[in-house]
Amino acid sequence: MSQVDYVKEKMNSSIEVFESSLTQIRTSGANPGLIAHVTIDYYGMETPINQVAGISVIEGKQLLIKPYEMHIVKDIEKAIFAANLGLTPQNEGTQIRINVPQLTEEKRKEYTAQVLKMAEDAKVAIRNIRREGNDLVKKDKTLPEDYSKSLVEDIQKATDDAIKQIDEIASAKNKEIMTV
């Protein structure tokens, strides 16, 4: 694997982490990602809710959680309360329903600022990967000088592409947040 392929792979991984972290930020509608990171104690192990229950969206405004085992309904309810997400689970005995309220203008602005900060953190991670890749190229004394410069240019191009991709993802998420 060349240094450029290594760098691209790590950058793609960073972008995926950024995208998955964005699912935890609320938009105007209900989204299973809102509670995907919430865990419960399931037979002695911290387990995400989406691994012990089916989560579906109803009419874009409600989440319906149907546990695979009925005895964990109360545990799921407590975990959602404890996660302090601003969501109120309603225990219906065999399932949990969560009404996802519309966001206020103030909350929308707060979330867009959070997205921008997360995007900046992702860009810093990309730049650190670029530096690591450049260091690998410079330390490899077996490479001809012109080939080495070509690799550094390719790494910079991969960096530019990754940062552009992060900006596009953040812009799309902010548009989604601001849509009423």
Encoding tokens for residue 85? 């997400």
Adjacent-strand bridge partners of 99? 62
Beta strands in the chain (DSSP E): 39-42, 45-48, 53-58, 62-67, 89-91, 96-99
Q: What is the pLDDT of residue 52?
A: 92
Are 63 and 32 in contact by the 8 Å Cβ rule? The answer is: yes
Confidence check: pLDDT of 2 > 90: no
Confidence check: pLDDT of 63 > 70: yes
Are 33 and 23 in contact by the 8 Å Cβ rule? The answer is: yes
With bands split at pLDDT 50, 70 and 90, how would you rate the model's confidence at 11? Answer: very high
What tens digit of pLDDT does each residue of 97-112 get?
998 888 788 888 998 9
With bands split at pLDDT 50, 70 and 90, how would you rate the model's confidence at 8? Answer: very high
Are 21 and 111 in contact by the 8 Å Cβ rule? The answer is: no
pTM above 0.95, yes or no: no
What tens digit of pLDDT does each residue of 27-54 get?
767 788 888 788 998 888 999 998 999 9
Give every CB contact of residue 139 below 8 A, 6+ residues apart in sequence.
Answer: none
- CA atoms within a 13 Å half-sphere pointing along the CA-CB vector of 158: 27
Question: How is domain 32-99 classified at the architecture level of CATH?
Answer: 2-Layer Sandwich (3.30)
The CA distance from 107 to 43, in Å, is 37
Domain boundaries, given as residue ranges, for the chain: 3-23+104-178, 32-99
pLDDT > 90 fraction of the chain, expressed in percent and rounded? 56
With bands split at pLDDT 50, 70 and 90, how would you rate the model's confidence at 153? Answer: very high
Are 153 and 20 in contact by the 8 Å Cβ rule? The answer is: no
DSSP state, 159?
A: H
Third-level CATH fold of 3-23+104-178: Topoisomerase I; Chain A, domain 4 (1.10.132)
pLDDT > 70 fraction of the chain, expressed in percent and rounded? 98
Residue type for 118, please?
M
**Given the DSSP bridges, would you call strands 89-91 and 62-67 parallel, antiparallel or unpaired?**
unpaired
